[in-house]
Amino acid sequence: MAHRITLIPGDGIGPEVSEAAQEVLAAAGVAVDWDVQTAGLEVARVGGNPLPDRVIDSVRTNRFALKGPCGTPIGGGFRSVNVSLRQALDLYANVRPVKSLPKVEPRFDVDLVIVRENTEGLYAGLELMIMPGVAQSIKLTTERCSRRIAEFAFRYAEGHGRPRVTVVHKANIMKISDGLALEVTRKVATEHPTIELKEMIVDAAAMMMVKNPNSLGVLVTENLYGDILSDLGAGTVGGLGFVPGANIGDDAAVFEAVHGTAPDIAGKGIANPTAIVQSAVMMLHHLGERAAADAIEKSILQQYDERKVVTRDIGGSASTKEFTAELCRLVRLHREA
């Protein structure tokens, strides 16, 4: 029986890398009935709304979505498609595994996971102009959202064999808001005695992610800190083009490439589809398609280790289609092994 999954190709290189992910899943033997839904800058130019209700309805119905990058204007225009989608579907947990690939610079040995609260904090969008020249942004922290993201992080650690959760905060300065989140996480930790809880101020955590990242385990944090630390983590393993991401709620999950739309190379056929393929692997694990997920993971590691067919961003000469064809070949071999 085929899985019914929403596909949001996105803008720029999104359609190209999304097509690559579809081909890889097919090579892995996963039957998917794709419900293709357009969103982003191009959709906004035509209809005025970058995230039509039909997209939200599709994800709500299908419960799973694979998403390419969507463009967002800076300093004006419409609100981020990513933020709007997360809030509309209450996708409260942003999960970003950060793991090194073979022979990708910089060659840190990194294996950690960042779990970021996705629905409140400064990203709640509570802003106002108090008077001319004075703007205010309100950081929203609730006990309910702090508890559920902490519980998610501890369950993730237990389910993935990770012995430690590190809560990242700035409670030394924001004693009420971050203090609440920290206190709630401490309470949740008592309900998961097999997992060690570490506490770390966000600036110290940033340093530790470069100095000794694997000591952190699963990081759990509020929205803004998690956003920044996620990109820092990506930088330690080569950049946003190599890391997957997921936004997970109780009733739906969206798996996405977290890099930008790269309009400078869109349509040239040279984009690296690794991020969205790895996001699709996360989705397969969520769907229970573990054999297919393992075959793709092994194939990615082999392709990067051999470096015979890799894209230009990591020193190769392969096009997106050539990279994808080689990955599909390896996936079929691993399936048969």
**What Rg, from alpha-carbon coordinates, does the chain have?**
20
Cβ pair 13, 261 in contact under 8 A: yes
pLDDT for 16-51, tens place per residue? 999 999 999 999 999 999 999 999 988 888 888 889
DSSP assignment of 84-138, as one string? HHHHHTT--EEEEEEEPPTTPSS----EEEEEEE-SSEEEEEEEEEEETTEEEEE
Q: Which of 203, 250, 251, 305 is catalytic?
A: 203
Beta bridge partners, 246, equal 95, 255
Do 265 and 324 belong together in one domain? yes
Domains in the chain, number: 2
Tell me which of 209, 236, 263 is where a domain ends.
236
Examine the domain organization and report whether 121 and 219 are in the same domain: yes
Q: Note whether 136 and 91 are same-domain residues.
A: no
Query: How much is the pTM?
Result: 0.93
HSE-up of 198 (CA within 13 Å, CB side)?
15
End position of a domain, from candidates 216, 236, 256:
236
Q: Among residues 171, 204, 236, which one ends one of the domains?
A: 236
Determine how β-strand 196-201 pairs with β-strand 111-117.
unpaired
Q: Contact 128/143 with Cβ under 8 angstroms? A: no
CATH number, residue 280: 3.40.718.10
Same domain, 113 and 231: yes
Catalytic site residue from 11, 92, 123, 225: 123
Q: Which candidate, 204, 197, 248, 253, places its Cα nearest to that of 220?
A: 197
Give me the catalytic one of 11, 92, 156, 170. 170
Whether 147 and 231 share a structural domain: yes
Per the CB < 8 A criterion, the answer to whether 240 and 278 are in contact is: no
Distance CA 94, CA 138 (A): 21
Query: 157: Cβ–Cβ under 8 A, 6 or more apart, which residues?
Result: 163, 164, 165, 192, 195, 217, 218
What distance, in Å, lies between the first and last C-alpha atoms of the chain? 24
Task: Give the amino acid at 267.
Answer: G
Render each residue's pLDDT in the chain as its tens digit; 337 residues. Answer: 899 999 999 999 999 999 999 999 999 999 999 999 999 988 888 888 889 999 999 999 999 999 999 987 654 555 678 888 998 999 999 999 999 999 998 877 899 999 999 999 998 888 999 999 999 999 999 999 999 999 999 999 999 999 999 999 999 999 999 999 999 999 999 999 999 999 999 999 999 999 999 999 999 999 999 999 999 999 999 999 999 999 999 999 999 988 999 999 999 999 999 999 999 999 999 999 999 999 999 999 999 999 999 999 999 999 999 999 999 999 999 998 7
Q: Are residues 124 and 190 in the same domain?
A: yes
Q: Are residues 11 and 71 in the same domain?
A: yes
Q: What's the confidence (pLDDT) of residue 79?
A: 65
Determine the Cα–Cα distance for residues 40 and 84; give it in Å rounded to an integer.
Answer: 11
pLDDT digits (tens, 9 = 90+) for 97-139: 999 999 998 877 899 999 999 999 998 888 999 999 999 999 9
In 3D space, the residue among 148, 129, 156 whose CA is nearest the CA of residue 285 turns out to be: 156
- The reply to whether 123 belongs to the active site is yes
- DSSP H helix total and E strand total for the chain: 11, 12
Contact criterion met (CB below 8 Å) for 77 and 98: no
Examine the domain organization and report whether 18 and 58 are in the same domain.
yes
75, burial (CB in 10 Å: exposed 0-12, middle 13-18, buried 19+): exposed
Distance (Å, rounded) from C-alpha 258 to C-alpha 270? 18
- Token readout for 109 is 């040995």
Structure tokens at 34: 């794709």
Q: Judge if 119 and 188 occupy the same domain.
A: yes
223 and 264 inside one domain: no
Judge if 259 and 213 occupy the same domain.
Answer: no
Q: Known catalytic residue: 227?
A: yes
Residue 90 DSSP label: T
What is the residue range of 192's domain?
109-236
Which structure tokens are listed for 40?
A: 């982003």
Give the residues across from 219 on adjacent strands. 114, 166
Provide φ and ψ at 96, rounded to 5°.
Answer: -125, 95
Alpha helices in 123-273 (DSSP H): 143-159, 177-190, 202-211, 223-236
